[in-house]
Amino acid sequence: MAKARAFVKRLKAVKNIKKITRTMELIATARFKKAMDRATEAAAYTKKIAEIVSDLSNAQLEGFTHPLLKTPEKVEKSVLLVLTSNRGLCGGYNSNVLRHVVARLREVDQTSEQIELDVCGKRGINFLKFQGRKADHSYTNFEDKPRFDEVEELANRYINAFVSGEIQRLDVAYMKFQSVSRQYAVLETLLPLGQLDSKAPSSEPVDYEFLPSPQDILDELVPAAFKARLFKCFLDAAVSEQIARRVAMKGATENASEMIGLLSKQYNRARQSQITSELSEIIGGAAALE
Amino acid sequence: MAKDLQLVVVTPETTLLDEPVAGVRFPLFDGQIGVLPGRTPLVGRLGTGELRITTATEERSFFIDGGFAQIRDNTVTLLTARCVPASQINPDAASKELAEATARPASSDETIDARLRDQDRARRMLEVSRK
């Protein structure tokens, strides 16, 4: 019975694993829904900011500049912010993001540019440690519910560093969320901010009263727009992580089901062949006695 | 008689309020502003302090921390980084923040500005929580 026993043991193990992956899939689905809701709610803020920008652009704003919008002539030091997950078992989620990071680091190595590496998530921290890169700042507090307060702290640090000329560029590597079925890893340059996205001007421009002047409002609006964009990166990363985990766990559950089918077939065969051989032994023994 | 005023408060995380109100008062960068139905369109910078909402039945108060206001078509939209109902403000935490800001050494212009801002913010928060 030795061989059939081994199959029973493996079958049991696979069934247990299937239970776990199935549960993880369900949890990821629930978390994904929550993260998705948060992302949609946050979209209202970005939309409103774009609206105010377009309102302001109707009020003659030629020649407006803001330190965050200006592209520095020479990049001496840049920051690379990496958003990865704290936990694994989410398929290619982390490795896709980290591939971009490695490419960017290699690019920087060939120039005299300095780089500050900020990493969020245990997976990214461990990967870069393994690569022999030292992360200047590392964070593990961003889980699937990034809070604006936490992101704002980071954003303020970058704004100050950029305005004072310590850094000339900020890149964020993360998994961008496009739709439920499509997310892709990107490396986005967030600073300099470039163009402020504004909504298409509404058909009838409203004659606003500005308190204080449009320039002063824009001065405040630019950092707010940057913070909103950085926050969106975190939200996107959180949503994408849950989707990636759900897909990975779904695949794992399906594979486990397939394996269970295969193993039970093998087990049945092994058991049958054992019975057959035992039977033939008995028949053989009985025949010898006659 | 003008139509009802609609108040929308948006923070980066969520849309906190979206409801009709009779009147609303909030801090602009240089002082309080009161808005009643039928106000002319406005875009303004918010200050720190109390947002007071008057509806037909009650009056509620919130603490808001900077941002922008947009008024058009009888809709007041407030974009703010933080909006906390007055009842949820922790006065102890606010006074601790004030003490911390006061004790912080400041030597350059920027740090002094930052300290003043933090002190101001904590004081206003205390003020709102006491009401």
- Which chain A residues are within 8 Å of B68, Cβ to Cβ? 49, 52, 217, 220-221, 224
- Cα(B109)–Cα(B113) distance, integer angstroms: 6
Return the pLDDT at A61.
62
- Residue-wise pLDDT for A134-179, tens only, equals 889 999 988 888 899 899 999 999 999 998 889 999 999 999 999 9
- Kindly list the domain boundaries of chain B, sorted by start residue: 5-86, 90-130
> What gap in Å lies between CA A195 and CA A187, rounded to an integer?
17
pLDDT of residue A283: 95
What per-residue confidence (pLDDT) applies to A57? 76
CB contact under 8 A, B14 and A42: yes
Q: What is the pLDDT of residue A204?
A: 65
Domain ranges of chain A: 31-199+206-246
Confidence tier at A1 by pLDDT (50, 70, 90)? low
Mean pLDDT for the stretch of residues A119-142: 91
Say what the pLDDT of residue B118 is.
Answer: 85
Question: Contact A48/B79, CB-based, under 8 Å?
Answer: yes
Residue A203, pLDDT > 60, answer no
* Domain A31-199+206-246, second-level architecture: 3-Layer(aba) Sandwich (3.40)
pLDDT mean over A62-70: 76
pLDDT category of residue A130 using cuts at 50, 70 and 90:
very high
DSSP code at position A69: T
Say yes or no: domain B5-86 is CATH 2.60.15.10: yes
Least confident of A55-64, A225-234, B18-27, B42-51: A55-64
Other CB atoms within a 10 A radius of the CB of residue B44 amount to 23
More confident residue, B97 or A257: A257
Q: What is the pTM assigned to this prediction?
A: 0.88
Please state the three-class secondary structure of chain B as a single string: CCCCEEEEEECCCCEEEEEEECEEEEEECCEEEEECCCCCCEEEEEEEEEEEEECCCCEEEEEEEEEEEEEECCEEEEECCCEEEHHHCCHHHHHHHHHHHHHCCCCCHHHHHHHHHHHHHHHHHHHHHHC
Q: What is the model's pLDDT at position B119? A: 87
Q: Identify the residue among B79, B84, B111, B118 best suited for mutation to test binding to A, counting A beta carbons within 10 A and taking the highest.
A: B79
- Residue A102 has a pLDDT of 93
Closest residue, chain B, to A56 (C-alpha): B43
pLDDT at A280: 95
B27 pLDDT band (50/70/90 cuts)? very high
Q: What is the tens place of the pLDDT at every residue in B67-122?
A: 999 998 889 999 998 888 888 888 888 888 888 888 888 888 888 888 888 888 88
Which residues of A are less than 8 Å from B82 in CB distance? 149
Comparing A176 with A218, the larger pLDDT belongs to: A176
- Under the banding of pLDDT at 50, 70 and 90, the label for residue A267 is very high
Closest Cα in chain A to B44: A211
The arithmetic mean of pLDDT across residues B6-11, rounded, is 92
pLDDT score for A209: 86
